[in-house]
Structure 1
Amino acid sequence: MAVAELTLSSKNYSSWSLRGWLLCRLAGLEVAEKLIALDDPENRAELLLLSPSVLVPRLTHEGASVWDTLAIAEYLHELYPQAGMYPADRIARAHCRSVSGEIHSGFANLRSALPMNLKVRHARFPIFSGAKADIERIETIWAECLDSHGGPWLFGKAPTVADAMFAPVAQRFLTYAVPVSQTTAAYCQTINDWSLMREWIKAARAEPEEMAELEVEF
């Protein structure tokens, strides 16, 4: 029986819900999923990427209510340090926290230009110039991490908080056929082949088509 509840929104469109769910799975915490209505105002704000700090995802566990993905990551790491959510090495751990914080708070142009949608694949997609700097920065982050720690994950042989935070970005690059380096493409494939990612994608593709109006607003 699950000892915790994770409140989520759309699995197809919500990058923040994906991050929270991946973090719980990395920690080994069994959660009961609670899906909120797609027409809920706070859920709509989250789906429209207006803020990474709305109350979805929200982890409820043993009297604690934790929202915001990085807060969830720190909470779970505190409870389950043996899960390896952060690298064991102090310098690598600081690096992991830094890049996770960067994706958490930045890259607004990328978010608006390439909204998450796991049901589609575009062979070609126009990317406005404002998003290109974000893409270049993400490629730099990934290359530095993979070069420093040997891959295939950003911090070595196992996924960490950073991989959970960047997983939706990798999926965006695949969805919109973003032209990227071989290193970036290989990392995107690592994320796409991740068993947890495949489980989430399967559920996302089974989700009812209720968001047609939303797609127009991006």
Structure 2
Amino acid sequence: MKLIIGNKNYSSWSLRAWLAVKQSGLSFEEITVPMFGEQWESAKQQDGFQASSGKVPILWDGETVIWDSLAILEYCADKVGRDRFWPKDDTARGMARAMVAEMHSSYGALRSECPMNIRKRFQGVHLTDACKHDIVRILGLWAEARARFGDGGPFLFGTFGAADVFYAPVVSRFISYGIGVPGFAATYMEAVWEHDWMQSWIAASDNEEWVIEQYETAPGEA
């Protein structure tokens, strides 16, 4: 398999897909194409990008191509067994699926105001009410998942799974933008941040030389 991703520092969708493939345990080749750089426009015209209309991430498995992070996760789950990604309990699995779907389709204010920037620590951030609403909603979901289904470990549903894959970039955002969170959320965020795969991704992002200026200024900063 071959996974095409964008910059590790900035591409939240790439992080989700990469974690999903790592969670599958399947071997894959990783190809990073820096977004908005000199190679970006030419790369989008190559055959490997055609199925996605020039977007990342893209997973190629032989002649099979999947170009959406949730679709990549589900494809991997089909190959290795869904229990590797989703809780076995029906009720827990239902909530996990709903949380992943909501992350996939919602939180527009948080995404636009706080783009992922793993290396950066912003100061004096001023968020809109819409962004604060997204944050409160996410913290509420985390609290419910941990309270109802988190007995088996430090992650949302105990063990690391699809929900953690999809909320990992949110953890990064909360850290980068100095979002205040209650103790249970800080503990969960630490578990995600210190996960071996996240530490590998973070180290790689630190070593990237590319800078996208539009993602280097926080809301309210001059």
- Aligned 8 A contact 2:118 2:172 in 1: yes
- Counterparts of 2:87 and 2:71, CA distance in 1: 17
- Aligned 8 A contact 1:28 1:83 in 2: no
* Partner deviation per Cα, 1:26-59 (whole Å, 9 max, x = no partner): 0101211112242325999xxxxxxxx9731111
1:129/1:41 CA distance change after superposition, 3 Å? farther
1:147 lines up with 2:147 in the alignment = yes
The number of residue pairs the alignment matches comes to: 207
Deviates more, 1:68-77 or 1:54-63: 54-63
Residue among 2, 5, 14 paired with 2:2: 5
Give ranges in structure 2 of 5+ residues lacking alignment: 45-52
- Aligned 8 A contact 1:6 1:58 in 2: yes
* Partner deviation per Cα, 1:152-176 (whole Å, 9 max, x = no partner): 11111x2001100000001110111
Identity across aligned pairs (percent)?
A: 35
- Counterparts of 2:42 and 2:120, CA distance in 1: 25
Highest CA radius of gyration, 1 or 2?
2
Alignment of 1:37-52 (within 5 A): 37-39=34-36, 40=40
**3-state DSSP of counterpart to 2:21:** helix
Alignment of 1:5-154 (within 5 A): 5-39=2-36, 40=40, 55-81=55-81, 84-150=84-150, 151-154=153-156
**3-state DSSP of counterpart to 1:33:** strand
1:135/1:192 CA distance change after superposition, 3 Å? same
* Partner deviation per Cα, 1:163-205 (whole Å, 9 max, x = no partner): 0000000111011110111111111111111111000000001
**What's 2:50 paired with?**
none
Q: Which amino acid aligns with 1:175?
A: S
Q: Which amino acid aligns with 2:31?
A: K
**What's 1:205 paired with?**
206
**What's 2:175 paired with?**
174
- Counterparts of 1:137 and 1:188, CA distance in 2: 16
**What's 1:47 paired with?**
none
1:164/1:43 CA distance change after superposition, 3 Å? farther
1:8/1:86 CA distance change after superposition, 3 Å? same
Q: Which amino acid aligns with 1:154?
A: L
Q: Offset of 1:209 from its aligned partner?
A: 3.1
- Counterparts of 2:83 and 2:8, CA distance in 1: 24
TM-score, structure 2 normalization: 0.86
1:112/1:42 CA distance change after superposition, 3 Å? farther
Alignment of 1:184-203 (within 5 A): 184-203=185-204
Q: Which amino acid aligns with 1:16?
A: W
- Aligned 8 A contact 1:7 1:57 in 2: yes
1:137/1:214 CA distance change after superposition, 3 Å? closer
**3-state DSSP of counterpart to 2:3:** strand
Q: Runs (4+) of structure 1 moved beyond 3 Å? A: 41-44, 213-218
- Counterparts of 1:161 and 1:41, CA distance in 2: 31
